[in-house]
Structures are given as C-alpha cells and as structure tokens.
C-alpha cells in the first residue's frame, strides 16, 4: 500500500480527520525546508503538500505567488525540491509527500527522469495544477512509476466531469476553490457539505477539502464532512519572514496546533 493510502486508512480506522499542510519549497528559506517539514509532522500534519515554485502560478493567489517568487529568487528548482524530500525521508518514512506545482518545470526536467528521481527521493504523489484530467496523458510515466496523480474538483465542475474525476481519483481527490470567490461558485458551508458528501459517495479515493480553511473554526466546520482538510495560503502567510528553522517550525506549530486539536475534538 502506498504511503498516502496507508495514511488515509489509518485515519479512517482511528476515526480522525486528516490534516494536509501546504508549504512552498524554499520559502521562507531553502535551509529551513527539511526541519520545517519535520516541524509540520510534529504539529500534526498527516500529509504534506510541497509546492514547487513556478514563475507564473496562474491558479494561485498572491500569498503563494509571492512565496514562489522569493524561492525562485534564491535559485530553488525542482532538483532542490527532490533533494529536500530525500533528506526528509532519511528520518521519516511514513508521512506522505505530494509535490504540487505547474507542468513547465516538470516538462523541462523531463517526465521520465522526473518519475524516476521523484520515486527515488520518496515522493508519493504529484498535483499538477495546470494539468486537468483531459491533458494528463503526459503524466503517464509518473503514474506508471507508482506516483499518485492527485486530481482536483471544484464547485464549478460539471456533473459529467465529476463522475470521471471520481473514477480516476488516486491518492485523494482535492475539492478546492479560492477563498473569497464570488459569483456562481459562491457556496455556503452547507452547500459544500452537500457537494462533498456526493463526491465522497462516488470517489474511489478519500476527499480532501481546501476552501478558505484559515483557522480552527473553519477547519472544524469543513472537517466535519471531509476525509481531510487542506491548509495552504494561511500557513504560507504565517511562515513568511521566519528568521530561522526553529522560528519557522515554531510558527507552524503555533498555527497548526489549535487546528489539529479542533479536528480531533469532533
């Protein structure tokens, strides 16, 4: 069983809601990445999404874009990210790591060599934000190597595609929207709950929800109907400007501890 599948199976057995944390690799500092990853685990993260910096993160908001820019300015590339995962794996062989990012860096690395190197480093899944199911033939070498391709679903996803996504889901299915989204995609917590219940009933993989989760209260509200909650921008924002690895891990812990407690309290 893959690390992701084992982790979700264990969560299910324990009746717990998973906590998935996102950080941008190399921000606030390349030296802090590995200790910070361990810090996230200590603070209660069940799965880690490690953002691969990209110059044009079209689907991310300003917080993550700026974190990417800071990391790129320090020369962070995909090879560094894989090296950090390998270093993390020296002492943690259980916490699943998903690399999240955009296709072009992987394209330039080469899909086949990336599949090989990512697997060797100890990566468990990949979430390519700009690669919907329809274009994911390019990721076949990664899937063939045993990496889970994490797919996204959103409030705007039409019924027909949702069925395809549920069928193709591997690792977990990430139900996502942007915080503060307005217009047709604006859903209340109750509507999200209803939507997610429908997806969980059909999805081959557990369903994680990232929907403006910023604190213990929102995590608890979302956690009530999801297999896991994802915390991204709010954490990245909190980490920005940390002066040392201890500072970064401390900030992560201060921020995540109440969220972990809230998820476990229900």
Q: Active-site residue numbers?
A: 49, 60
Hey, how many other C-beta atoms are within 10 angstroms of the C-beta on 128?
A: 25
Euclidean distance between CA atoms 266 and 263, whole angstroms: 6
**Do the beta carbons of residue 232 and residue 198 sit within 8 Å?**
no
- Does 254 sit near other proteins (CB under 8 A)? no
Stretch that binds other proteins, among 65-73, 139-147, 194-202, 247-255 (CB under 8 A): 65-73
For the chain, how many residues are written?
266
Query: Is position 129 an interface residue for other proteins (rule: CB under 8 A)?
Result: yes
Residues 87-106 within binding reach of other proteins (CB under 8 A): 102-106
Q: What is the pairing mode between strands 151-153 and 228-231? A: unpaired
Task: Decide: is 134 part of the binding site for other proteins (CB under 8 A).
Answer: yes
Q: In the chain, what are the helix, strand and coil shares in percent, each to the nearest 5?
A: 55, 15, 30
- Is 188 a residue that touches other proteins (CB under 8 A)? no
Kindly state whether residue 55 participates in binding other proteins, applying the rule CB under 8 A: yes
Q: H/E element holding 225?
A: none
> Do β-strands 228-231 and 207-210 pair in parallel, antiparallel, or remain unpaired?
parallel
Q: Note whether 150 binds other proteins by CB under 8 A.
A: no
- CA distance to 165, 171, 225, per residue, from 207 (Å): 11, 9, 9
CB 52 within 8 A of CB 23: no
66 binds other proteins (CB under 8 A): yes
Q: Which is nearer to other proteins, 75 or 241 (CB)?
A: 75
> In the complex, what is the shortest distance from the CB of residue 53 to other proteins, in angstroms, rounded to a whole number?
8
Of 8, 22, 54, 225, which one interacts with other proteins (CB under 8 A)?
Answer: 54
Stretch of 155-163, 199-207, 231-239, 255-263 lying at the interface with other proteins (CB under 8 A) = 155-163
Query: Is residue 108 within the footprint of other proteins (CB under 8 A)?
Result: yes
The residues binding other proteins (CB under 8 A) are 53-59, 61-62, 65-66, 69, 72, 76-79, 102-109, 129-132, 134-135, 151-158, 161, 176-178, 180-185
């Amino acid at each position: 069983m893959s690390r992701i599948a084992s982790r979700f199976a264990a969560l299910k057995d324990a009746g717990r809601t998973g906590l998935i944390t996102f950080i941008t690799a190399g921000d606030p500092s390349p030296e802090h990445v590995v200790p910070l990853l361990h810090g996230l685990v200590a603070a209660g993260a069940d799965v880690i999404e490690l953002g691969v910096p990209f110059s044009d993160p079209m689907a991310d908001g300003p917080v993550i874009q700026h974190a990417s820019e800071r990391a790129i300015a320090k020369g962070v590339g995909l090879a560094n990210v894989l090296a950090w995962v390998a270093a993390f794996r020296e002492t943690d062989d259980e916490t699943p790591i998903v690399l999240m990012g955009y296709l072009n860096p992987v394209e330039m690395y080469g899909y086949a060599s990336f599949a090989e190197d990512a697997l060797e480093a100890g990566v468990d899944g990949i979430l390519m934000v700009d690669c919907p199911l329809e274009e994911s033939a390019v990721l076949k070498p990664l899937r063939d190597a045993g990496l889970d391709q994490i797919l996204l679903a959103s409030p705007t996803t039409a019924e027909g595609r949702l069925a395809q996504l549920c069928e193709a889901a591997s690792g977990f299915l990430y139900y996502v929207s942007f915080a503060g989204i307005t217009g047709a995609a604006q859903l209340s917590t109750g509507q999200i709950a209803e939507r997610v219940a429908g997806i969980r009933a059909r999805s081959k993989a557990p369903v994680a929800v990232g929907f403006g989760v910023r604190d213990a209260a929102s995590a608890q509200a979302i956690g009530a109907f999801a297999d896991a909650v994802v915390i991204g921008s709010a954490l990245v924002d909190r980490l920005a400007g940390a002066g040392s690895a201890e500072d970064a891990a401390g900030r992560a812990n201060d921020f995540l501890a109440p969220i972990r407690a809230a998820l476990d309290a229900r």
